[in-house]
Structures are given as structure tokens and as C-alpha cells.
Structure 1
């Protein structure tokens, strides 16, 4: 499943509650993944990852309101 996220910008959430964001998933192995951001390249064991979130653009909120009728 992680292989489908290769070369996409993701956020990794770890089992200890910390996270890294704004990086790309560069390689997925059987035991480790390689994650690269602007400053670092991380080799993360799969057992340390709680979940992975894909960074997407926020949707514009629909405008809700009423217009006065005459």
C-alpha cells in the first residue's frame, strides 16, 4: 500500500506521538522506508510508523448565506 504513495508529499506519524511533514516518500522496502524533506533524509523502520497522511490541498469552504428577497 505504501508503494502507491511513492514520490508524493506525505506526513509520517510515529508510535511515540511525533511526526514529520512536508517531505516525500522516496523508497519503500520490506522493513524500512526512505523519507526525504528539505533538510534531512530519514530511514524509518515500518514498525515505528503509526500512520501516513497524504498532504493535499485544502478545499475551499462553500459560501453559505441568505440574500434578502424584495
Structure 2
């Protein structure tokens, strides 16, 4: 972080949600991250997870569970 080589940071949750980070506070300092463009790794992962979640891409790991609500 201190040498400014970090190009992006994001958090991923168990509900297949990904959110970008704008700032990381560490070592008593605030480090602003560069703006994330649409080709960032974070967005590639987000699109892939969303496509698996909604059935566009195959769920080869069995992450999705269909629940009968009847």
C-alpha cells in the first residue's frame, strides 16, 4: 500500500456480492485507491458470479440451490 502499487481492492461476500473499495486505512494512514474502470478484475469476477447466479453460466460447483416455495 505504501509504495502505491495497489491497483484495486474489493470485498466479496457469501451471497456472491462484490463491492469496490475507495480507501484503505492502514499504518495510521488513509490510502486512496484509483478509480476502478469497467475492465477491472473486480467487475470481471462480479459479472461471472452474477452469470452463474442467474443461470447464464453453468454452476459447476453446485453453489446455487433451487428452493420450492409452494
The alignment's TM-score, normalised by the length of structure 1, stands at 0.24
Q: Which has more strand, going by share of residues?
A: 1
Bigger radius of gyration among the two = 1
Larger RCO: Structure 1 or Structure 2 (Cα < 8 Å, ≥ 6 residues apart)? 1
